[in-house]
Amino acid sequence: MKILLNTLIINNFKGIKELTINFDPCNTNIFAANEVGKTTISDAWHWLLTGKNSNDQKDFNIKNTVDTSLNRADHEVTAIITANGTDVTLRKVYREKWQKKRGSELSEYTGNETIYYFNEVPVQQYDYQAKLNGLFDENVLKMITNPLYFNSNTTNWGWRNRRDILLTIAGKISDEEIFATITTDSNRSAVAAMIEKLKIVKTTLDYKKMIGEQKKKLKADLEMIPARIDEASRSKSDELDWSAIATAIEAKKAEIEKIDAAITDANKAVEAQHEAYNKHQQEIHLLAARKIAITNEVSMKIENEKSGARMRLNELSNKVTEAQRAIDNAQNTIKSLKSNRDSLDNEIQQLREKWASVNESEIKFDEGAFHCPACKRAFEEGDIESKKATLTANFNNDKARQLNKINEDGRAKSARIKQIDADLADIEERLQQHILARESAESELKSFDAGSINPSNAQSLDDILAANDDYIQVTSSLAKLNGSAPQIQRPDHSVFTLQKNQVNAELDLLKKQLNSREQNKRADERIEQLKAEEKTLSQELANLERTEFLIDSFDRAKMDILEERVNGKFKDVTFKLFDRQVNGGETPTCETMYKGVPFSDLNTAGRIWAGIRIINTLSDFFGISAPIFLDNRESVSNIPETDAQVINLVVSPEDKQIRIVTGSEQLAVA
């Protein structure tokens, strides 16, 4: 895609009040003295496309800082461009916002706003940016419109960004391609192992970090081994006559066996005494148990006799209590029944009086009942008699019903009185029986001999036992056995114990000496083990260092291929992508060289030449060319050939106003 800037219209932007420029498709030269507005033209173009100035700064003064009275008018940039043969009109308006608050005579400044147009149609910022993104990538546009941008070191751009772009241009380098350059007959198996490892670890940087940690641990382990060997050597004791010590141990064990046999013989002499003593003690225990059993039997018999008397006393007392309870219940029931009977007698008397009152009642007529309720005229005589007959019949029927009801209630209450009288007779009869039962129980209780519970002439337990033949016999036999216990004469083992303790002490010392032989053996085995471990660790460390060297070879080969590929894409321009360290390591970087001279050491012409060469390669790679703005063009006598549209900004002290020259007065192009 080729983008051409056809027309640029600037109104009230920075220091330019009004300017329209029609550009040549190939070269346009803009002449002016310093501070007239050449850079403002480039800033307007970049602001229209990216929202930043030509130095990639977002925060810069769009408004006029000299004549601020112009700032309430719109700040506007319009460009007519051709993209792949299609004309597109872009316009942005930066406007101050003023608002008159209620009650205030003057408007107040409240901020700024930006209005976007695409092909003269107002659009939102998001849509405007989306349409531009459909034409070109903003970052790519910055790189191909300013020859100094790619090699600048700003906040938003630096060597890492340059390096990423160059690596993208170089294309992906496969590990197989790199391995092919470093593989030899001697390292073929190591390379194969590294290839398999990188399938897991993914990057050589991570692989080297992992090896570094492993080497660190191996070196730490190796440093500890000599100290461990020395510690094991110092734990060994002096060599002794191990055979003589073993013989002496067996001799001491034989001495101990002889002493134990002598102790056993002495113990056998007292075994018979122990048996006689145990038999005597068993007889004593049996007699003592029999004595206790007799005592318990006599004591239980005495207690049972006392318990029977107490039970009889409780039985008589309970009879008196139960009889009194029955009397109280019967008396309460009689009282309640008599109260109910009195109430029923009163109710029957009231019924008699009511029956007499109802029976004597007669119907009485209200004369007003025989007049028309509307006109108050008396009814006909025949109607009056008929109504009186009806009222009389109703009165008599109601009277008969009331008398029948009174008679029924009276008969029911009389029946209830008869039942109460029968119940009273029954309960009064039972009351007499309860009274007789209570009197009988009280008589028995009075005649009960309370002394039978604790009789004053009762014998004590000791008196009864003193007369018990079995108890007397058992006590006598037990006294004889307690006075004739067999004696046990314990053997004196003190001499044997002293001898055995002395021999055991000598035996322990000999065993301790013999154990040092095993300790020395274990120490020798540990020393050999540590030496073998030291050899293994040293071999592992050497293997890791060889692998580390192979990784360095891989990285160096990759760097060489990358630099070769990148530099092959550019004319006269090369890039150093890695800094070789004194210790053999490499640090990623990105330094631009033009004909062997670092970009930072180039003069203005050299930097522009290098920048255009880079733009040509970037345009080819990304498939897009756009107008190149060359500021300070007067410093370069000629420039490299390029397919892009070139806009030269030339310092011309005699031009106090911007002068545009196209076509006929072009600057030199090499």
pLDDT for res 665: 47
**Would the pLDDT of 308 be above 50?**
yes
Instruction: Please give the radius of gyration of the chain, using alpha carbons only, rounded to the nearest integer.
Output: 68
Contact criterion met (CB below 8 Å) for 418 and 340? no
pTM reported for the whole predicted model: 0.52
Q: Round to whole Å and give the CA distance between 670 and 667.
A: 10
Contact criterion met (CB below 8 Å) for 143 and 615? yes
Mean pLDDT, to the nearest integer, of 495-499? 78
CATH code given to domain 3-136+624-669: 3.40.50.300
- HEC string for 527-547: HHHHHHHHHHHHHHHHHHHHH
Residue 375 pLDDT class (50, 70, 90 cuts): confident
Residue 614 pLDDT class (50, 70, 90 cuts): very high
The mean predicted confidence, pLDDT, of the chain is 83
User: Parallel, antiparallel, or unpaired for β 108-118 and 27-32?
Assistant: unpaired
pLDDT for res 664: 45
Q: Round to whole Å and give the CA distance between 229 and 529.
A: 9
Taking Cα atoms as reference points, which of 424, 437, 436, 426 lies closest to residue 322? 437
Stronger pLDDT, 261 or 344, i.e. the higher one = 344
pLDDT for res 271: 67
List the single range of 66-70, 364-368, 417-421, 598-602 with lowest mean pLDDT. 364-368
The percent of residues in the chain predicted with pLDDT above 90, rounded, is: 25
Q: Round to whole Å and give the CA distance between 487 and 154.
A: 116
Stronger pLDDT, 86 or 287, i.e. the higher one = 86
Q: Round to whole Å and give the CA distance between 63 and 31.
A: 23
pLDDT for res 378: 72
How far from 628 is each of 54, 302, 488, 633, 667, CA to CA, in Å? 11, 137, 130, 12, 14
pLDDT for res 63: 87
Most confident of 88-97, 236-245, 474-483: 88-97
Contact criterion met (CB below 8 Å) for 21 and 7? yes
Q: Round to whole Å and give the CA distance between 39 and 33.
A: 11
3-state SS assignment for residue 646 = strand
pLDDT for res 610: 93
Tokens coding 480: 């004889």
List the single range of 24-38, 422-436, 455-469, 544-558 with lowest mean pLDDT. 455-469
**Would the pLDDT of 252 be above 80?**
no
Q: Round to whole Å and give the CA distance between 627 and 21.
A: 14
Stronger pLDDT, 260 or 7, i.e. the higher one = 7
% helix / strand / coil in the chain, to the nearest 5? 60, 15, 25
Mean pLDDT, to the nearest integer, of 524-543? 86
Contact criterion met (CB below 8 Å) for 590 and 574? no
List the single range of 43-52, 464-473, 507-516, 552-561 with lowest mean pLDDT. 507-516
Write the DSSP assignment of 331-352 as a string of letters: HHHHHHHHHHHHHHHHHHHHHH
- Residue 395, class by beta-carbon neighbours within 10 Å (0-12 exposed, 13-18 middle, 19+ buried)? middle
Q: Round to whole Å and give the CA distance between 462 and 299.
A: 10
Q: Round to whole Å and give the CA distance between 388 and 402.
A: 21
**Residue pLDDT, tens place only, 418-463:** 999 898 899 888 889 889 988 888 888 788 766 556 655 567 778 7
**Residue pLDDT, tens place only, 185-203:** 878 888 788 777 777 777 7
pLDDT for res 78: 97
Give the residue extent of every domain in the chain.
3-136+624-669, 301-461
Contact criterion met (CB below 8 Å) for 5 and 49? no
